[in-house]
Amino acid sequence: MSFDRSYARQLDENDELKDFRNEFYIDEEKIYFDGNSLGLLSKRAEASVISLLDSWKNHAIDGWTEGEHPWFYLSEKLGQFTAPLIGAKPEETIITGSTTINLHQLAASFYRPDGKRTKILADELNFPSDIYALKSQIKLHGLDPEEHLVQVKSRNGNTLETSDIIEAMTEDIALIVLPGVLYRSGQILDMEALAKEAQKRGIPIGFDLCHSIGSVPHQLSDWGADFAFWCTYKHLNGGPGSVAGLYVNEKHFGKEPGLAGWFSSSKEKQFDMEHTLSPAEDAGAYQIGTPHVLSAAPLLGSLEMLSEAGIERIRGKSLRLTDYLMQLIENRLKGHGFTIANSREENERGGHVFLEHPQAAAICKALKAKGVVPDFRTPNGIRLAPVALYNTFEEVWKTVDLLRTIMDDKDYEQYDNERGVIA
């Protein structure tokens, strides 16, 4: 491998996904490596929003059943578009709610403490929101989270061992909720192995796919996962606060959801206005409220693009980008105190590279001042996410080149080493 800029340009020239970059609104004065926090706006997503605004303008109340994308069926339609990204059947997937609302719904539906099975198994590296929700659910059953939430420990502070998680699947566990990809280190958990081990023990298991959907292929149905949930504003490029999604394995169809609402209803029965719920016979039963049509609208364009690109091709380029980034870091940043804290193994590495450095917050500020948008994670982490649909290999090269200049010239010393209000 060559480490000069011309090699990066050659990689870009041979990139089969390069034309998708033209679909996005990109500030050519900046390098955006934070798509694992918020994906960029695409022209198709923008057009989808305008299209649904027009349906409101032109159809008013009849937009629920008329127009190109009738609102009454929008959540199911978007679920069908999403299903191939997670290896699910169309009827097992629905776009609804937010990440945490969907976790509350799924925990309320699958957490049934009974006898000695009273505990929820999670991990100590998960995103805080998931832990807050699980503790709330435990309290709703009159139990103490300090006793009934089991969090698998990390051996190194960044990753989890599959064997440690399986060992924690004891007879007192009533539910398992784990991330598909750890948000800091980018480690991909072995979801297939974990799902199969949970099945052996009769424990329902679900996965938070926020950092994996749209960047990593899944086969949830084949693996036998009971449920999953995710946001859509990272690798799915749905926009800030865009409507989230959930998956429920078809083996659970026909059951009433833990948290019922009007849109939990069967479509045919919903407007009968009965006070006894007739739940939908698919993942739609796990909806609660009215679809957020305008917040779901960008996904019509975004998911269309992901379908055209194909999740396998996206994953292939993502791996090449992160591998190139790590090789450049090791070659050009020697002696500057950086540690690559994510896995080097492709089957364990998600869509970003995770660096650790004692001056991480200050370095992130220096990068941003030079036009690179990274992501800081407490206490000493830098996440760099080159996204397959819109980032380039030359941007990877330029970022490492700028990072080397920052370290050689000690530019970071002019910034305090504390995170901002939002990091």
Q: Is 325 helix (H, G, I), strand (E, B) or coil?
A: helix
- Residues belonging to the chain: 423
- Known catalytic residue: 208? yes
127 known member of a binding site: yes
262 known member of a binding site: yes
290 known member of a binding site: yes
Q: Is 152 helix (H, G, I), strand (E, B) or coil?
A: strand
Nearest-10 Cα torsion for 84, 88, 89, 94: -90
63/59 Cα distance (integer angstroms): 5
99 known member of a binding site: yes
268/3 Cα distance (integer angstroms): 61
Q: Where are the beta strands (DSSP E) in 235-373?
A: 245-248, 339-340, 353-356, 372-373
Helices (H) and strands (E) in the chain, counts: 14, 13
201/71 Cα distance (integer angstroms): 41
Asked if 180 and 235 count as a contact pair (C-beta separation under 8 A), the reply is no
Q: Which of 111, 183, 233, 412 is catalytic?
A: 233
126/73 Cα distance (integer angstroms): 33
Give the pairing of strands 205-208 and 173-179. Answer: parallel
392/256 Cα distance (integer angstroms): 47
User: Which residue has 């055209």 as its token pair?
Assistant: 308
128 known member of a binding site: yes
- Known catalytic residue: 81? no
117/32 Cα distance (integer angstroms): 46
255/109 Cα distance (integer angstroms): 9
Q: Which two tokens stand for residue 143?
A: 């139990």
233 known member of a binding site: yes
130 known member of a binding site: yes
| Buried-exposed string 336-358: b where 16+ CB fall within 10 A, e elsewhere | eebeebbbeeeebbbbbbbbbbe
Q: Which of 34, 208, 226, 375 is catalytic?
A: 208
Q: Which of 383, 393, 411, 412 is catalytic?
A: 383
- Known catalytic residue: 365? no
- Known catalytic residue: 112? no
What are the Cα distances from residue 216, in Å, to 56, 290, 300?
Answer: 35, 30, 20
Asked if 152 and 119 count as a contact pair (C-beta separation under 8 A), the reply is no
Q: Where are the beta strands (DSSP E) in 256-371?
A: 339-340, 353-356
- Known catalytic residue: 172? no
99/74 Cα distance (integer angstroms): 18
Distance of CA 34 to the CA centre of its chain: 13
Q: Which of 7, 72, 73, 127 is catalytic?
A: 127
List residues forming the annotated binding site for pyridoxal 5'-phosphate. Answer: 99-100, 127-130, 208, 211, 233, 262, 290
The catalytic residues are 127, 208, 233-234, 383
